[in-house]
């Protein structure tokens, strides 16, 4: 069983039709990392996005970049959109933020108030909102130089972050810093508390819950855009087998527009980025389990009917039994985590049982 799953993940053959469906329009693909070790230090995957934004800022191409910075207020982790106008402010916004953000409410005013052009870093769902708004408002559209989409399976409600912080902070002072993921391959979580030593644990302490869709945002059930159709660039982790043994973690950059491709090539030529042009299918190999599952709204629509959860079927995919069962698992998991009682039960699960449950979901997704 395990051998079959591994072989399916690592040896999958992607047809041209599947590439077109899952990826959308694109021009080229690069695997890159920031040349500056300081930029890579706290990056989630290679520091390429930070390096690109810094280059554009230093060359005067943009006034600033609309990014999400993690702020700590009252011991809570709060992601906030800011207009980063300096290289240091860009670095302060590094890393993944696995928590609900309010793009239209926070990012749109920053773009509207900017005097010059800006770059925008957004999740695929928010990039689509931005794209549609730009079509109707040419004056707003002219302010945006580049849109970078971050690869996304789904986002998470604040309750999970709060639970993890509470576990790490037992007998500690107030939280002063929190980093969701840094380091090579799967990475680690970092939490710092006033008066105490930094605490670092494997990212799996957070991601095991997140990958099971516990505490997921409900709206994520209705999304099928994993790779960011509406950006100039899509950027994210490369989970292919080859990357596991690389000494430096790299970023997959999918260039979708002429502007996106020009910026990446200029960064490579200037030395801001180090990398090579690669095949899109290796990106898909690294997402071979989660990408088809995320795209398959039809499975979630079918499973939703069993529990009274209406999920519009926008993809019209064929639904196999294992896909329907996987979809049912995540729908039920998210629903259970909406209640206080459900959250307490989830967080009380022994880690071996949680791991076994996660392997079951991964197995269903991979068959």
As to burial, measured by CB atoms within 10 angstroms (0-12 exposed, 13-18 middle, 19+ buried), residue 22 is: buried
β-bridge partners, 107: none
* Residue 249 covered by a domain: yes
74 pLDDT above the threshold of 70: yes
Residue of 47, 45, 49 whose CA lies nearest to 121: 49
pLDDT tens digits for 230-269? 999 999 999 888 877 777 889 999 999 999 999 999 999 9
* Residue 181 covered by a domain: no
* Residue 70 covered by a domain: yes
CA dist., res. 158 & res. 163, Å (int)? 9
Rounded to the nearest integer, the mean pLDDT of the chain is 94
Domain that holds residue 98: 24-156+224-283
Domain final residue pick, 258, 283, 308 = 283
Helices and strands (H, E) in the chain, number of each type: 18, 11
* Residue 188 covered by a domain: no
* Residue 59 covered by a domain: yes
Task: Please indicate, yes or no, whether residues 84 and 125 belong to a single structural domain of this protein.
Answer: yes
Helix (H, G, I), strand (E, B) or coil at 76: strand
Structural domains of the chain, count: 2
Terminal C-alpha separation, the chain: 9
Report pLDDT for 244: 75
* Residue 163 covered by a domain: no
Task: Please indicate, yes or no, whether residues 235 and 346 belong to a single structural domain of this protein.
Answer: no
Task: Please indicate, yes or no, whether residues 232 and 335 belong to a single structural domain of this protein.
Answer: no
Buried residues in 40-76 as b, exposed as e (16+ CB within 10 A): bebbbbbbbbbbbbbbbbeeebbbbbbbbbbeeeebe
Task: Please indicate, yes or no, whether residues 319 and 279 belong to a single structural domain of this protein.
Answer: no
Q: DSSP assignment of 168-186, as one string?
A: HTTT---EEEEEEEESSTT
β-bridge partners, 188: 182, 202
Matching residue, tokens 């039960």: 345
Band of pLDDT at residue 1, cut at 50, 70 and 90: very low
Task: Please indicate, yes or no, whether residues 305 and 331 belong to a single structural domain of this protein.
Answer: yes
Report pLDDT for 47: 94
Task: Please indicate, yes or no, whether residues 67 and 151 belong to a single structural domain of this protein.
Answer: yes
As to burial, measured by CB atoms within 10 angstroms (0-12 exposed, 13-18 middle, 19+ buried), residue 161 is: buried
Task: Please indicate, yes or no, whether residues 274 and 312 belong to a single structural domain of this protein.
Answer: no
Give me the sign of the Cα torsion angle 333, 336, 340, 345.
negative
CATH of the domain at 277: 3.40.640
272 pLDDT above the threshold of 50: yes
Q: Pairing relation of β-strands 144-150 and 118-122?
A: parallel
Report pLDDT for 11: 59
Task: Please indicate, yes or no, whether residues 257 and 321 belong to a single structural domain of this protein.
Answer: no
Task: Please indicate, yes or no, whether residues 239 and 120 belong to a single structural domain of this protein.
Answer: yes
pLDDT tens digits for 94-130? 988 999 999 999 999 999 999 999 999 999 999 999 9
Domain final residue pick, 283, 314, 332 = 283
């Amino acid at each position: 069983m395990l051998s079959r799953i591994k072989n399916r993940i690592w040896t999958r053959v992607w047809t041209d039709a599947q590439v077109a469906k899952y990826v959308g329009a694109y021009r080229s693909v690069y695997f890159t990392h920031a040349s500056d070790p300081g930029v890579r230090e706290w990056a989630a995957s290679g520091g390429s996005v930070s390096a690109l934004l810094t280059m554009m800022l230093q060359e005067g191409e943009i006034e600033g970049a609309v990014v999400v910075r993690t702020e700590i207020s009252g011991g809570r982790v709060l992601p906030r959109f800011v207009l980063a106008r300096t290289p240091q402010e860009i670095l302060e916004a590094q890393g993944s933020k696995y928590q609900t953000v309010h793009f239209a409410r926070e990012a749109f005013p920053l773009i509207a108030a900017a005097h010059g052009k800006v770059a925008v870093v957004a999740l695929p769902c928010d990039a689509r909102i931005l794209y549609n708004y730009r079509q109707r408002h040419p004056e707003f559209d002219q302010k945006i130089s580049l849109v970078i989409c971050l690869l996304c399976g789904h986002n998470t409600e604040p309750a999970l972050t709060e639970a993890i912080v509470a576990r790490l902070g037992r007998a500690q002072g107030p939280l002063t810093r929190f980093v969701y993921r840094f380091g090579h391959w799967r990475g680690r979580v970092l939490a710092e508390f006033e008066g105490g030593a930094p605490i670092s644990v494997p990212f799996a302490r957070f991601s095991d819950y997140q990958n099971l869709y516990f505490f997921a945002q409900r709206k994520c059930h209705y999304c099928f855009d994993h790779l960011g159709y509406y950006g100039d660039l899509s950027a994210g982790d490369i989970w292919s087998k080859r990357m596991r043994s690389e000494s430096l973690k790299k970023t997959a950059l999918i260039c979708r527009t002429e502007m996106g491709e020009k910026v990446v090539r200029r960064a490579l030529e200037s030395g801001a980025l180090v990398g090579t042009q690669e095949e899109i299918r290796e990106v898909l190999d690294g997402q071979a389990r989660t990408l088809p599952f995320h795209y398959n709204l039809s499975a979630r629509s079918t499973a939703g009917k069993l529990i009274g959860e209406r999920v519009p079927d926008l993809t019209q995919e064929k639904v196999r039994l294992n896909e329907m069962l996987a979809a049912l698992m995540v729908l039920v998991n998210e629903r259970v985590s909406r209640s206080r009682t459900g959250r307490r039960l989830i967080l009380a699960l022994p880690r071996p049982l949680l791991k076994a449950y996660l392997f079951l979901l991964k197995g269903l997704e991979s068959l």
